[in-house]
């Protein structure tokens, strides 16, 4: 059964001129496209053919708005975690906490606590669903990959404290707008994010009770990396600089001394409270920073992101995700040079990488991580079909060990192929491939009672398959597909094959 008919596709454009509309796709271009996106679908291929490789990359590096189907956009906006302002959400949470505190000990209080906990978990799951729906359906595919990359790089764990209510705002309003912008702006956005400040405890960092957690991870995991030249003294000085950087969940004005009132900063739930700040001078990365309030934070971030170590660190991590576990040093240096010369322009660093000979040489050799596997499977199987229920995708990523916002430690999920290519991992992928390929996957459930759309199993042998996969299958995969006894089994074999799992 087919859900829709694919439109006739145009042919790829070379940068200079368009080939014949019915000419076969070039293998190198297809391999490049499969890596730059989460997986080619009909719309991506058509756009690539229309624009050619160079202009297609230009468009991906400078996305204007989103390219979501209207029904998917409406589905995402139906989630309270997405549509409600964060201040509104946190006002509600605050009021519920107060009401619970006022209840006498007993069953009513316990039930209220459980209801609030469930609401937080529901909001976190809505954030996960929104993230996966955007990854599957938004044709700004390079941005979608970078949103995932930066969410992992600046990782937060949804089950800590109030983070579960904050992750939707973190993904949509902290990471997404800056995914292809200036790295400094991205760092500042994460630094002012309530999710990050709650997760890494800077909300508790005050002049009389220093907490070094966020200061340490900001340098070690987010910007500079270990062995980059900073010292424990730098961590301590940065923690002092970050005192007073926190959150205001009470939505109440602070009582401040007159000389502090002009230094108070409030943006939504984020606040810088000068009453909690250490105004002493600091020496950070060899530079004296005079006590001046939040301006100290901006100066410290400037020192960090302008360090050559930051350019190398960020370039290395991008190359590990997009190129290989051990990216060539020459490529990293080329990317780092671009980073330094463009003041940390992520789009230009990506352009340097994606147009390099080292990137071209890596194509077809990278093993998909769980997110890449699930999202690319969905893009092939359900292109043009909006699923009403994204929860099965969350369950699959839980089973594969890479759930969105699910990493307990702040280092993010591993980027190396070896972490995701064990026999146990491949066995789970086969089960997920069978679930997708057979249609027995609850993707069309409309509610918790199991009401569902009329549907069937997907037809993976689509025009996209014949354009981007079939011409390049190896002999063993062709033999396996030829031995399938049903369309559902053929789907399973394809999604489980090395041809599909490498890109």
Question: In this model, does residue 21 exceed pLDDT 90?
Answer: no
Location of structure tokens 């969105």: 404
Question: In this model, does residue 3 exceed pLDDT 50?
Answer: no
Q: What are 206's strand-pairing partners?
A: 209
Question: In this model, does residue 58 exceed pLDDT 90?
Answer: yes
Question: In this model, does residue 70 exceed pLDDT 70?
Answer: yes
Residue 459 and residue 381: Cα distance in Å, rounded?
Answer: 7
Average pLDDT of the chain to the nearest whole number = 93
User: Which value, to the nearest 10 degrees, does the dihedral of the CA atoms of residues 27, 373, 365, 335 take?
Assistant: 90
Q: What pLDDT score does 23 carry? A: 60
Residue 468 and residue 286: Cα distance in Å, rounded?
Answer: 53
Average pLDDT value for residue range 261-272: 97
Contact (CB, 8 A) for 214 and 197: yes
Q: What pLDDT score does 32 carry? A: 97
- What pLDDT, in 10s, does the model give residues 396-411? 999 999 999 999 999 9
Residue 55 and residue 49: Cα distance in Å, rounded?
Answer: 10
- Closest-CA residue to 11 (of 479, 496, 475, 463): 463
Beta strands in 424-480 (DSSP E): none
- Closest-CA residue to 195 (of 252, 131, 269, 267): 269
- What pLDDT, in 10s, does the model give residues 234-255? 999 999 999 999 999 998 889 9
- What pLDDT, in 10s, does the model give residues 423-439? 999 999 999 999 999 99
Location of structure tokens 């001394």: 257
Residue 228 and residue 226: Cα distance in Å, rounded?
Answer: 5
Average pLDDT value for residue range 10-36: 66
- What pLDDT, in 10s, does the model give residues 472-502? 999 999 999 999 999 999 999 999 999 999 9
Residue 189 and residue 184: Cα distance in Å, rounded?
Answer: 9
Judged by phi (left if over 0) then psi (alpha if -120 to 50, else beta), residue 270 lies in beta
Domain ranges of the chain: 200-365, 366-501
The structure tokens listed for 335 are 């990317």
Residue 396 and residue 191: Cα distance in Å, rounded?
Answer: 31
> What single DSSP character describes residue 447?
S
The structure tokens listed for 371 are 């997110």
Strands of 245-247's sheet, edge to edge?
245-247, 270-272, 265-267
Average pLDDT value for residue range 54-60: 97
Half-sphere exposure in the Cβ direction for 165 (13 Å, CA): 22
Contact (CB, 8 A) for 130 and 82: yes
Q: How far is CA 485 from CA 2, 18, 361, in A?
A: 19, 40, 37
- What pLDDT, in 10s, does the model give residues 167-216? 999 999 999 999 999 999 999 999 999 999 999 999 999 999 999 999 99
Residue 45 and residue 34: Cα distance in Å, rounded?
Answer: 10
- Closest-CA residue to 133 (of 56, 175, 79): 79
Residue 367 and residue 501: Cα distance in Å, rounded?
Answer: 6
The structure tokens listed for 116 are 């609030």
- Closest-CA residue to 354 (of 11, 34, 16): 34
Residue 380 and residue 362: Cα distance in Å, rounded?
Answer: 22
Average pLDDT value for residue range 450-458: 67
Location of structure tokens 């596709």: 9
- Closest-CA residue to 244 (of 185, 197, 200, 186): 197
Question: In this model, does residue 4 exceed pLDDT 70?
Answer: no
Average pLDDT value for residue range 360-370: 97
Residue 459 and residue 462: Cα distance in Å, rounded?
Answer: 6
């Amino acid at each position: 059964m087919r859900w829709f008919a694919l439109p006739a596709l145009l042919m790829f454009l070379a940068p200079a001129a368009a080939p014949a509309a019915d000419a076969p796709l070039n293998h190198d271009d297809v391999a490049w496209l499969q890596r730059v996106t989460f997986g080619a679908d009909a719309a991506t291929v058509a756009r690539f053919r229309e624009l050619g490789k160079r202009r297609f990359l230009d468009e991906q590096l400078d996305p204007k708005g989103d390219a979501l189907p209207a029904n998917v956009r409406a589905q995402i906006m139906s989630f309270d975690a997405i549509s409600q302002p964060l201040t509104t959400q946190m006002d509600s949470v605050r009021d519920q906490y107060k009401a619970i505190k006022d209840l006498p000990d007993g069953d009513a209080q316990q039930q209220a606590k459980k209801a609030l906990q469930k609401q937080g978990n529901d909001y976190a799951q809505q954030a996960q669903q929104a993230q996966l729906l955007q990854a599957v359906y938004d044709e700004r595919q390079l941005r979608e990959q970078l949103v995932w990359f930066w969410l992992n790089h600046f990782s937060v764990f949804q089950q800590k404290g109030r983070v579960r209510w904050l992750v939707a705002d973190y993904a949509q309003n902290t990471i997404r707008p800056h995914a292809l912008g200036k790295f400094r702006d991205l760092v500042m956005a994460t630094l002012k994010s309530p999710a990050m400040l709650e997760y890494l405890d800077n909300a508790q960092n005050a002049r009389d009770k220093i907490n070094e957690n966020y200061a340490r991870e900001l340098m070690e995991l987010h910007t500079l990396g270990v062995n980059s030249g900073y010292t424990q003294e730098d961590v301590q000085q940065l923690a002092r600089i970050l005192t007073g950087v926190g959150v205001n969940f009470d939505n109440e004005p602070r009582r401040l001394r007159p000389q502090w009132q002009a230094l108070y900063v409030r943006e939504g739930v984020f606040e810088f409270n000068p009453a909690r700040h250490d105004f002493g001078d600091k020496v950070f990365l060899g530079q004296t920073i005079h006590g001046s309030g939040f301006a100290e934070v901006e100066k410290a971030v400037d020192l960090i992101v302008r360090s050559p170590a930051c350019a190398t660190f960020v370039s290395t991590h991008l190359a590990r995700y997009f190129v290989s576990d051990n990216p060539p040093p020459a490529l990293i240096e080329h990317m780092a040079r671009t980073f330094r010369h463009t003041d940390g322009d992520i789009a230009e660093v990506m352009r340097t990488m994606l147009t390099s000979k080292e990137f071209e040489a890596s194509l077809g050799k990278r093993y998909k991580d769980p997110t890449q596997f699930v999202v690319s499977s969905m893009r092939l199987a359900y292109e043009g079909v909006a699923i009403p229920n994204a929860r099965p995708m969350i369950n699959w990523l839980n089973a594969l060990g890479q759930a969105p916002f699910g990493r307990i430690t702040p280092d993010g999920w591993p980027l190396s192929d070896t972490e995701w290519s064990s026999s146990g991992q491949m066995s789970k992928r086969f089960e997920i491939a069978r679930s997708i390929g057979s249609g027995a996957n609850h993707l069309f459930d409309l509610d918790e009672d199991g009401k569902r759309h009329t549907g069937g199993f997907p037809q993976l042998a689509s025009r996209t398959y014949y354009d981007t996969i079939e011409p390049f299958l190896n002999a063993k995969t062709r033999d396996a597909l030829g031995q399938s006894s049903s369309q559902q089994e053929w789907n399973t074999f394809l999604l489980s094959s090395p041809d599909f799992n490498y890109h």
